[in-house]
């Protein structure tokens, strides 16, 4: 009998007080390591989501929300890139008939009942962009654009005021235009020119 066998025989009658074997201890250590790794992975994932999410919010605040929509521009339905910013402003870019890229910028605020100002929402700006437009061309002509309508109104001014009725097919709008001094629309009647000055 070798020494190794003698030691085995001598110690085989001894038992651990906790009745725990080396294999059980190894499994407990591995289980703890797995839990630590899972927790670390969860923490890293949460950190990445928070960082990535704030990056998206940051980008949306700086660049605005961009999408392609169709607007009536000069009587033609046109695909435009519309970028809305939460500050109540917008940028529009589109390709004109002659192939050049055109850009429009605008925005506004609304006055609430309590007198406070707030930026216009995206829907309010889009509604505003669907209203009739008046354009003064270099050749001296004056045009009104509303949906698919193009109306030359150059000869309709009397004492610097022109009244025009336009329709989008569903409802009529009445325009009062002051020559190179603004215009207003009303669904009910023509506005008196004195109220625009």
Query: What is the domain partition of the chain in residue ranges?
Result: 18-63, 64-121, 131-197
* Cα–Cα dist 18/22, whole Å: 11
* Cα–Cα dist 22/176, whole Å: 94
Least confident of 67-71, 159-163, 167-171: 67-71
* Cα–Cα dist 114/132, whole Å: 29
Q: Could you give the percent of the chain with pLDDT greater than 90?
A: 6
* Tokens, residue 137: 């061309």
The three-state secondary structure class of 179 is coil
The three-state secondary structure class of 134 is strand
Q: Which residues make beta-bridge pairs with 12?
A: none
pLDDT in tens, 114-168: 988 888 888 887 777 778 888 898 999 998 888 888 889 999 999 999 998 888 8
* The predicted structure's pLDDT at residue 30: 59
* Tokens, residue 12: 């085989």
| Residue 78 and residue 94 in contact, taking contact as beta carbons nearer than 8 Å | yes
- In this prediction, residue 41 has a pLDDT band, given cuts at 50, 70 and 90, of low
**67, containing H or E segment:** strand 65-73
| Residue 166 and residue 172 in contact, taking contact as beta carbons nearer than 8 Å | yes
């Amino acid at each position: 009998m070798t020494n190794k066998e003698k030691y085995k025989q001598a110690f085989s009658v001894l038992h651990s007080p906790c009745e725990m074997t080396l294999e059980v201890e190894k499994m407990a250590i591995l289980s703890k390591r797995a839990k630590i790794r899972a927790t670390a992975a969860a923490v890293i994932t949460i950190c990445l989501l928070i960082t990535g999410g704030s990056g998206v919010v940051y980008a949306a605040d700086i660049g605005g929300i961009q999408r392609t929509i169709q607007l009536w521009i000069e009587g033609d339905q046109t695909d435009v890139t519309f970028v809305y910013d939460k500050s109540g402003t917008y940028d529009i870019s589109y390709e004109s008939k002659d192939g050049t890229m055109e850009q429009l910028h605008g925005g506004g605020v609304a006055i609430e009942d309590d007198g406070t100002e707030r930026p216009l929402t995206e829907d309010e700006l889009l509604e505003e962009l669907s209203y009739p437009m008046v354009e003064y061309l270099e050749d001296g002509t004056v045009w009104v654009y509303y949906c698919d309508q193009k109306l030359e109104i150059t000869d309709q001014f009397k004492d610097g005021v022109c009244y025009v009725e336009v329709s989008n097919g569903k409802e009529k709008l009445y325009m009062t235009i002051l020559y190179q001094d603004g215009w207003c629309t009303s669904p009910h009647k023509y506005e008196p020119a004195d109220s625009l000055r």
